[in-house]
A and B are shown apart, each in its own frame.
Chain A
Amino acid sequence: MLSYADRLKEMRNTKIRHTLEKKRQNGYTDIDDFGTVPITDNYEVEPWYNSSNGSFYGYDGMCENFCRIMDAHEPYVDPMEMLCGRWRDMLVNYRGDVHYLPDWLKKKPKIMELMSSANDQWSKRWDEQRFPYDDLKPLQEKYNIQTGIDSDAHLACDYRIGFELGFGGLLEKIRKYRKINPDKNDFYDAEEKTVLAIVRFIDRHIEKIKTMIPEETRPEIKESLERMLKACENIRLAPPKTFHEACQWTAFFNCASRIYTRDGAGYQMDVLLYPYYEQDIKSGILDDETAKFLIANLLLIDPHYYQISGVDENDRDMTNHLSYLILEAADSIDIACNLTVRVHENCDKDFFDKAVYYLLKNKNGWPRFCNDKALSEGYMRNGVDKRTARERIAVGCNWMCVPGKEFPMNDTVKINIAKVMEVALAEMRGERIRTTERLFELFEKHLKLAIDVTARGINLHLDHQWEVTPELVMNLMMENTIEKGEDISRCAELYTIGVDGAGLAVVADSLGALSARIESEHLLTWDEMYKALDNNFEDERIRLILNSAPKYCHGGTVSDEWAKRLTDCWVKNIKAQSMPKGRTLVPGWFSWARTIEYGSKVGATPNGRRAHEPISHGANPNPHFRTDGAPTAQSNGIASVQCGWGNTAPLQIEFDPNVSIENGGVEIVKKLILGHFEQGGTLININVLDTDKLMEANKDPEKYPDLVVRVTGFTAYFASLSPEFRQLVVDRFLRGI
């Protein structure tokens, strides 16, 4: 008889097989694993293009193509599992999205045609015919801005809405409000078809399970399939009533929202699932082992961002027995998972210990940790009450969102400040008096221009997203959408729009190097420095003079001071930007995984960085910021550059592989986390890796298809990353940053 442990082992093996198979189908993917399974042989979608632009947009375009892709998906039922459903392909692929396009799709002629006219920033995801922004492009390119125009899915659903209504209830709600808002038929038609496509997706799973049951010979698996069938039948229209059904409902909804726009925002898992858990335990239909198996199964289906623990609006600990089971479940499956543990002084200390223990035990980059106090106090400064601020959950690489209420576009809008500095340096070149103060002044001038053009891009996006990429799936679980007949991009309660700066360390170290080497020590002249930048450091000695100047995160250096001034300047100007319609910008420091791409747009910089090399990662320091690579120094530096308005500047840290459970590692990592949070840090992504394993895997990735690394806020299978990205992870690890 197969135990849960046997089944989990099989499920893990299947996952490893899928990872290798996907690599063959997709090529390298420097993104989240997303929990997809390989595309099936006969999979074919004929997209419907409703725009002369050669793409599809709006309620009808998005809805029709979503339904086609959903209907083309073969059901996924693995008898080892208790939950069913997976996704393989997504809607945005058919609009020539260069960031996510897998190799198998590139073989389709229509897609290649789209690709040939798209580039990395201006793909056919946006309907430029109707909503052009040629006037913004020169400055967007000048400052290397990731505009957020054409973004989607960067918000968080309130799953309580779905859990309460079920798909049937959502249909009734849509039909009810359609009568109240007769002029919004396009919206309601699309939403209704969207829900029906999800129900058909469930129905095909039901049919598939029915064919599998008679053929299943193992009694315990047969029984498991029968329970799976019952859960699916119960939730195809009705709301979930049991723990098993709530997990299965989540799995189906998440498959749909991934297929639509690869949305990966989950929920506060221990709080939302607890009522189901408690009721089923009381009625005797659930035990802890089964609950853990179901959670492990859900985490395997899709590494959505879930969070656990933390405090409520009254600072009361929310940790419960289920919080522990979730950690144990994640441990039992130990795959790429995006679990965030909220940390607060009132929280259960044993739980925090256990969370850190698993980080060290599995060395698989989970969980990560966020600071309840700093994040909610910061977010409240935007005029949000404490209750709402506390509801804001960690649902992305670096970002938070209030489920159901907020439309933050978080992580989609970034300004490459290394590029802004490059522009400022060029302007100062011809001036008679050249100083770092003057450079900073010019930097601020250009930063203002960059922020202004960014804001105009955001406003264009917000005004028209509903006509381009309405959030048809996520709308189902947002407030006011169905009620008003509006896309969430038009009717959110909170428009706290995240804008991240990228390249902080490059700019801080550049200013620091100029202060130290030109102004204080007179080792170089401005002309020599400019010439060196022009010829990309033909004279290595000049590069080393600049590169060896004291760096940001060393502690107490001139570059540390510049990093703080840059942060003040960044925050001041982001907050000073006026926005219409109740919108406000929220500053953060984060590059996502685009350090290579951003670096490719910037020539040599005065910190000794050669032209087109990657820029620094998020708020992290540059390599060799200290000879000892002290994580505490990095932690202090990053704590000192927090923007303070509720968005993050994450501490992304690779920990000494010698730090183990046996030699007191749990206490050490705990102290690092608490020390960082005490100083106002917001989010910590930690890798504790095995050096030998990482080196071997870099040589032969397929040898370790289960090796997971935290790339930024997301974890990824090392074997799936491109050689450049693997090297970046290895370098970061070796240099202790």
Chain B
Amino acid sequence: MAKGLVADIQRASLHDGYGIRTTVFLKGCPLNCKWCHNPECISFKPETMYYPEKCIGCGKCDEGCFSGAKVVCGQYMTADEVMSELLLDKPYYKDGGGITISGGEPMAQKQLVKALIALCKNNSIGCAMETSLIYYDADIFKGLDFIMADMKIWDTGIHKEYTGVGNEQIKDNFKKLNTINIPIIARTPVIPGVEQGIDKISEFMQGLENVVQYELLPYHPLGIAKRKALRKEITEFDIPSKEYMLEVGRYAFIR
């Protein structure tokens, strides 16, 4: 069975969709958002993360690190291996809960995703996905209970500046996704100082009848420590104030 690269499996994930969920973070993403809070999920290869504050200075790095100072992120796993972990919380998935395939960009690892969706069906477990919608595959999407997808910036030039890619494909994929009958939760991370065009994104989402909810998620700097650990370039953004979130909050909606 083909293996995929998994960054982490988080159980009792309460903020990635409905109910109690287990989130599988697949490693690798074609986007490179400067504010990404999962920067360890960008590279398609296993990486080592360094947390020098945890180092005990034993000088035996080569024999294995047990202090948490040096952590390898990324493990090649088969769908069955992932599933055995996902099944552990089956007693809690009832009535709306289930698994969320996230990343990174899960659609970059279609084989594993397809296999996981099939296993979820066999085990009567709900399955959702968090995606950038840079890729589109109707067959895969039809197998999901709902999809959480981002539209980060309306202007494609600015989108490219902050994420590394333009957003034409993403807009197009939103429209295509709207034609198959899968509930969509559209989301925008709110990054103060970036011309995101939230009003225009909101208007666009209003026009897509399968978007059941448009959420605005405040930027949080969780990714900075991880970027340091990965020794990646850091761009700092302001955390949006409550007032700012209230101000832009008028563009959010639930249908």
Cβ–Cβ contact B88 & A544, under 8 A: no
Cβ–Cβ contact A541 & B92, under 8 A: no
Partner-contacting stretch, out of B11-19, B165-173, B202-210: B11-19
User: Across the two chains, which residue of chain A brings its CB closest to B58?
Assistant: A541
Cβ–Cβ contact B92 & A632, under 8 A: yes
Question: What are the residues of chain B within 8 A of A696 when measuring CB–CB?
Answer: none
Cβ–Cβ contact A548 & B66, under 8 A: yes
Return A535 CB to nearest CB of chain B, in Å: 16
Contacts A523-B64, A541-B56 known; A556 to B19 CB distance under 8 Å?
A: no
A263 vs B92: C-alpha distance in the bound complex, in angstroms? 37
Contacts A541-B60, A679-B91 known; A632 to B67 CB distance under 8 Å?
A: no
Supply 16 further A-B pairs (C-beta < 8 A) apart from A541-B60, A544-B66, A675-B89.
A540-B56, A540-B67, A541-B66, A556-B85, A628-B12, A628-B13, A630-B11, A632-B92, A636-B89, A667-B19, A667-B96, A668-B14, A668-B19, A671-B95, A672-B92, A679-B91
**Contact flags B69-112 to A (C-beta < 8 A → 1, else 0):** 00000000000000011001101101111000000000000000
A667 vs B97: C-alpha distance in the bound complex, in angstroms? 10
Of A630, A631, A668, chain B has the most CB atoms within 10 Å of the CB of A630
**Contact flags A528-569 to B (C-beta < 8 A → 1, else 0):** 000000000000110011011000000110000000000000
Partner of B91, one of A630, A663, A678: A678
Cβ–Cβ contact B94 & A671, under 8 A: yes
A632 vs B95: C-alpha distance in the bound complex, in angstroms? 16
Residue A664 at the chain B interface, CB threshold 8 Å: yes
Interface size, chain A (Cβ < 8 Å): 31
A633 vs B88: C-alpha distance in the bound complex, in angstroms? 8
| Interface residues of chain A: helix, strand, loop or mixed (majority) | helix
Q: Which of A665-689 contact B (CB under 8 A)?
A: 667-668, 671-672, 674-676, 678-679
Residue A659 at the chain B interface, CB threshold 8 Å: yes
6 A-B contacts, Cβ less than 8 Å apart? A544-B56, A544-B67, A628-B10, A631-B12, A671-B95, A672-B20
Of B18, B19, B91, chain A has the most CB atoms within 10 Å of the CB of B91
Return B67 CB to nearest CB of chain A, in Å: 5
A664 vs B96: C-alpha distance in the bound complex, in angstroms? 12
User: Across the two chains, which residue of chain A brings its CB closest to B84?
Assistant: A556
Contacts A556-B88, A636-B88 known; A671 to B19 CB distance under 8 Å?
A: yes
Cβ–Cβ contact A632 & B12, under 8 A: yes
Cβ–Cβ contact A671 & B12, under 8 A: no
How big is chain B's contact interface, by range? 20 to 34
Return B136 CB to nearest CB of chain A, in Å: 30
Partner of A630, one of B10, B56, B64, B96: B10
Contacts A544-B66, A555-B85 known; A630 to B12 CB distance under 8 Å?
A: yes
Residues of A within 8 A of B (CB): 523, 540-541, 544-545, 547-548, 555-556, 626, 628, 630-633, 635-636, 656, 658-659, 663-664, 667-668, 671-672, 674-676, 678-679
Return A219 CB to nearest CB of chain B, in Å: 47
Question: What are the residues of chain B within 8 A of A663 when measuring CB–CB?
Answer: 15
A544 vs B57: C-alpha distance in the bound complex, in angstroms? 13
User: Across the two chains, which residue of chain B brings its CB closest to A549?
Assistant: B66
A675 vs B60: C-alpha distance in the bound complex, in angstroms? 43
Of A545, A635, A659, A671, chain B has the most CB atoms within 10 Å of the CB of A671
Cβ–Cβ contact A658 & B97, under 8 A: no
Question: What are the residues of chain B within 8 A of A630 when measuring CB–CB?
Answer: 10-12, 89
Question: What are the residues of chain A within 8 A of B88 when measuring CB–CB?
Answer: 555-556, 632-633, 636
Return B119 CB to nearest CB of chain A, in Å: 17
Closest 5 A-B residue pairs measured CB to CB?
A630-B11, A675-B91, A630-B12, A544-B66, A675-B92
Cβ–Cβ contact B66 & A545, under 8 A: yes
